[in-house]
A and B are shown apart, each in its own frame.
Chain A
Amino acid sequence: MKQVAIKLNGKKIKCNEGASVLQVAIDHNIEIPHFCYHEDLPIDANCRVCLVEVDGKVMTSCTLKAQAGLAVKLNTPAVAKLRKENMELLLAGHTQRCPKCQKNYACQTREQMEKYGVTGKKYERPCLNLPIHKMGSAAEFDPEQCIGCNKCVEMCQKIGIGFLQLKGQAAKNSLAITDDKCVDCIYCGQCTVHCPVAAVREQNQIEQVKAALKDKSKIVIAQCAPSVRCSIGEEFGVKPGTNLMGEINTALRQLGFDRVFDVNMGADITTWVEAKELVERIKNGGPFPMFTSCCPGWVKMAEFYYPAMLEHLTTARSPQIHSGGAYKTWWAEEEGIDPHNIVVVSLMPCTSKKYEAQMDKFKVDGHRPVDYVLTTREFAVLLKDQNIDLPKLKKSTVDPYGTFSGAAAIYGASGGVMESALRTAYHFLTGKELKKVEFKQVRGMQGVKRATIAINGHKLKVAVVATAANVKLIMEEIKKDPNAYHYIEVMSCPGGCIGGGGQPIPSTERIIAQRIAGLYQIDDKMQVRCAHKNPIVRRYMEEYIPSLPEHKQRELLYTSYSKKKRFE
């Protein structure tokens, strides 16, 4: 790519010829407010806010291409005036409707409005009397708050679902769902992480968590998912991939959580159970392939689109469900606490985990393993609400029952579940330990990774799929050759959960790659890097579980799947 020099407000900058000037500005930390641009998606140029001036003419910077000698002015009076008008038009009525604004939660849109002196009250937008659409218990959108940027629509298309579309002419233009009855939402939340104004958003549970924290009769447990620790910093201006685990533990205690455990502990249980199942299947010669099932987005996809495949999903429960169940049984017994009084709150990079948490099939002794799920974004709101400046806190460690291995830490990255399972499956098959625990073949940002892995004379053919769109490819391969793979990991989101729908905004492929690097660093530095060596999980799996009657064991460790209808 040819390099050219352009000027942004007099500052000379080298960039690729033809690059979007807005992208160049973003790359150099030069602020140009914008609402409809995203570097991984097509340029729509519909917000008309990213204005700049060239030779006295005002234009949108997202569509302006870098050419040698281009001189761009950023904040001329004409730009400032037109930008403000367009923001007023775009955000007319926004704050009155936005539930975040109503609660005075921290919000990027409102910060921008304040910065540019935009009230949202200068102009009107029509009242369409459209209801808020709920996507299961995961996400929701308010058509009346949509500014028609089209990002969620494109993202949902890109991940291979196509559930959303903009409908309505003129001022009626707003978000709606597809008329195609054969298409259903998988609750991944990728739409929510691409909405500039929280018109499509997670179903918020901040108030419920706040109430639980205030309730003296409750023991409130926090558990943080693998991916959250390497992304939450972005909400506080820290570089993507910075591991803030220690600070998060401190913050959770400051917020009033009674125990700070970790979804990673649950991930080690998942690995254990899943690796056992894989080994069983290897010994029995199938059935293959076995699919992972810790992504509820993928599970919903399988249950709606590929019901014939359901017997191929591992029966192991997902991490948050495993650990939540362990707290409400094992831990509760050990501590002598009535599980009825335990409230488990998961911090997740994901909205589909909200959907998963409320499913009745996971109940243990009649209790939901997880009561509330906060996305990374909601967690940041909660922290800001309590004036906790996360990166400035002292580090502290998790409580003992939250102990985890390096294998759990990498669960957040696409390929991580596979790698963790392989480390432990090797041990279960051979009784030995791997000298080198890394399986680098399954790492990286590609949508599909394929590898053949030799374990104890078995040639294991594996595939790792990230973003739901790539499931189709794998399904076609399996259709042609049912023996194409032994073990397949599927994550709905780009790059895995680390690129999940509950992560900080913006979330781009470049940012996701940085976050992933952070996760692998955690694993590199750990003493214990295999799930089966996690002492807490060993006690749980080798002492507690075997002491239970069989139906209890099943209730705690396994799950089942069933064909799902639309909106189910």
Chain B
Amino acid sequence: MRNIIKKIDQAGLVGRGGAEFPTARKWQSVKDAPGKVKYVVCNASEGELGLFKDIFILEHHLAEVMKGMVLAMDTIKTKKAYFNLNQNYHKKIKGKLGKLIKQYAKQDYEFEVFVEHPSYIGGEETALLDAIEGKRTQPRLKPPYPSDAGLFGAPTLINNVETFYNVALVAEDKYKNDRFCCLTVDGKRIDVYRQPADWSLEKILRETGNYPDYDFFVQVGGSASGVVYNQKQLSKNKLSGAGSLEVYRASMKPHQLLSQWFEFYAAESCGKCAPCRQGTFNLWKLIDKKTIDWKKIMAIVETMEKTSFCGLGKSIGVPVRSYLKNVEGRK
């Protein structure tokens, strides 16, 4: 497949891990990076709340995902790929995965499975590289970017499960600009749906027959770090980030929501940098008390947003601010 990068570009593929970086550009830069040793890494960490599409794809379309990885290997001229696989997912797919790995081995493609202790930060590209290298799972200072110096210092192409799956579809001209949506309603996981990427949130809920009959608000693109919209904003907004949609009852108490988020952050912060390590702990502590001290919370949130080392800490302002603006502030 000579023109795969061009086809990916034309198809408009962007990263599905959350950052939405153009896939073609990523592939091109790893291809162009000097170096004899290169690696492909498939990121199946999926440590964010409300996300379960990667496991859905792995269970239903593993062959395509691996085909996408092989296309990547051919493109950047390597025979070695790593599967960064969430431990819980590994349990579910290891049989099938093992068989496919054996088949590809006959064609000299080597897949190495790295079974990852599930964590949010384990999905951060450079953190997962360090984890595979046997170091602490913490993000690296960038630059250098993985495309120049990634796994063991070699140029490395890292994509999410969904991206490799999409590449396989693009190669067979079957890609239709669809995306996956993990739907959670009132605390219950409903299903993984697949719909055109330009559908509004309202359309997704209605077409899948999940539009609630009570007042609600939603969180999109991760149920910890994602953005919060009220009911009126549903028609104007699409699925974003890492493809999750969570519906909360309007009666949900801010205290409950915040403790859910802050508990997650306080557990998932990798602990490397001061604002996130100590900030998440103190946010969680603040929620311990019955009343919500918004002033104190926002002081920490602002510090984390503006000074955290990586995207995890920086992202905390997204849910908190959008919730305040779109839901809590409108009461």
Contacts and interface: CB of A to CB of B under 8 A. Distances in A.
Given A82-B307, A170-B277, A171-B277, 10 more contacts: A44-B272, A46-B309, A47-B273, A48-B274, A58-B306, A89-B275, A89-B278, A169-B270, A170-B280, A173-B270
A285 interface: no
B267 interface: yes
A528 interface: no
Residue of A45, A60, A86 with highest tally of chain B CB at under 10 A: A86
A58 B307 contact: yes
Interface residues of A, number: 31
A45 B142 CA distance: 11
Residue of B267, B275, B300 with highest tally of chain A CB at under 10 A: B275
Interface in A133-155: 147-148
B306 A47 contact: no
Contact of A171 (B136, B278, B299, B309): B278
B303 A124 contact: no
Contacts of B240: none
A431 interface: no
A366 interface: no
A89 B296 CA distance: 13
Interface of A: 43-49, 51, 58, 60, 63, 78, 82, 85-86, 89-90, 92, 123-126, 147-148, 166, 168-173
Contacts of B303: 82, 85-86, 89
B282 A89 contact: yes
B269 A48 contact: no
Contacts of B306: 58, 78, 82
B270 A51 contact: no
B88 to A, nearest CB: 18
B269 A45 contact: no
A63 B141 contact: yes
- 4 closest A-B pairs by CB: A173-B271, A171-B281, A89-B278, A170-B269
B279 interface: yes
17 contacts: A47-B273, A58-B307, A60-B307, A82-B303, A82-B307, A85-B275, A85-B299, A86-B275, A89-B277, A89-B279, A90-B274, A123-B282, A125-B278, A168-B271, A170-B266, A171-B278, A173-B272
B23 interface: no
Contact of A48 (B136, B141, B285, B308): B308
Nearest to B142: A63
Contacts of B271: 148, 166, 168-173
A439 B241 CA distance: 67
Interface string B285-325: 10000000000000110110011110000000000000000
Nearest to A126: B281
Nearest to A147: B274
A43 B141 contact: yes
A82 B274 CA distance: 12
Residue of B266, B274, B277, B307 with highest tally of chain A CB at under 10 A: B274
B274 A47 contact: yes
A563 to B, nearest CB: 31
A282 to B, nearest CB: 48
A45 B274 CA distance: 10
Contacts of B270: 169-170, 173
B268 interface: yes
Contact of A86 (B269, B274, B281, B282): B274
Nearest to A43: B141
Nearest to A167: B136
Contacts of A173: 270-272, 277
Given A82-B306, A166-B136, A171-B280, A48 B272 contact: no
A46 B274 contact: yes
A170 B285 contact: no
A178 to B, nearest CB: 13
A92 B308 CA distance: 17
A148 B309 CA distance: 14
A92 B272 CA distance: 16
A151 B277 CA distance: 17
Contacts of A51: 307
Nearest to A83: B307
Contacts of A60: 307
Contacts of A78: 306
